[in-house]
């Protein structure tokens, strides 16, 4: 085994053993069975399904809980989520990892498509392009992501969206194409 000074043969070093690392912090993530939500997806139209999550009739997906994401509104072809970034999402250079913003955008763009689908239909991302415009920190305030369907074809949908911070500044934009697939 190769060591870097921060590891030993017993595994990674205990972060609390280094005074200059700062205080250790933790976060607890609790979620419900995702298969309960998935089963409902096959029985409802996309808009009915998203509305059921929004109003609390169905549990949110675990990824939403993990990233502090919540739906705010959903209508035919448009979905809005918020997310609260915190230090647990920081990358090594001291800002929120771009993966949070990308996941937030992928979620609202996909759900915007889902909001247009009939019962028994789902979607999967084919392509996602994200442009990062501004760094995000825990002080950025809640992030608000909006996803919109720009063209819905029979098999492929096209979407665009953006994320704004608590001050209303755009932090990222995205476009995506998604394939419509049968569920179940």
Q: What does the pLDDT profile of the chain (184 residues) look like in tens digits?
A: 444 444 444 445 665 567 788 888 998 999 999 999 999 998 999 999 999 999 999 999 999 999 999 999 999 999 999 999 999 999 999 999 999 999 999 999 999 999 999 999 999 999 999 999 999 999 999 999 999 999 999 999 999 999 999 999 999 999 999 999 998 7
Which residue segments constitute the domains of the chain, with CATH numbers given? 31-182 (3.10.129.10)
Report phi then psi at 75, rounded to 5. Answer: -145, 175
32 CB neighbour count, 10 Å cutoff: 13
Rounded Cα–Cα distance for residues 60 and 37 (Å): 7
What's the whole-model pTM score?
Answer: 0.87
Give me the residue label for tokens 């933790």: 26
83 CB neighbour count, 10 Å cutoff: 23
Strand partners, 96: 90
């Amino acid at each position: 085994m190769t060591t870097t000074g921060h590891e030993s043969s017993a595994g990674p070093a205990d972060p609390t053993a280094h005074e200059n690392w700062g205080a250790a912090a933790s976060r607890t993530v609790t979620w419900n069975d995702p298969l309960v939500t998935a089963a409902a997806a096959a029985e409802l139209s996309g808009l009915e399904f998203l509305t059921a999550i929004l109003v609390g009739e169905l549990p949110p997906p675990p990824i939403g809980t993990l990233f502090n994401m919540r739906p705010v509104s959903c209508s035919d072809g448009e979905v809005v989520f918020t997310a609260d970034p915190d230090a647990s999402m920081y990358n090594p250079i001291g800002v929120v990892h771009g993966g949070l913003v990308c996941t937030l955008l992928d979620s609202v763009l996909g759900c915007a498509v889902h909001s247009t689908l009939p019962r028994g239909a789902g979607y999967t991302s084919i392509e996602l392009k994200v442009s990062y415009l501004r760094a995000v920190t825990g002080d950025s305030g809640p992030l608000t992501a909006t996803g919109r369907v720009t063209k819905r074809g029979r098999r492929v949908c096209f979407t665009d969206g953006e994320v704004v911070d608590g001050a209303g500044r755009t932090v990222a934009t995205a476009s995506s194409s998604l394939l419509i697939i049968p569920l179940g």
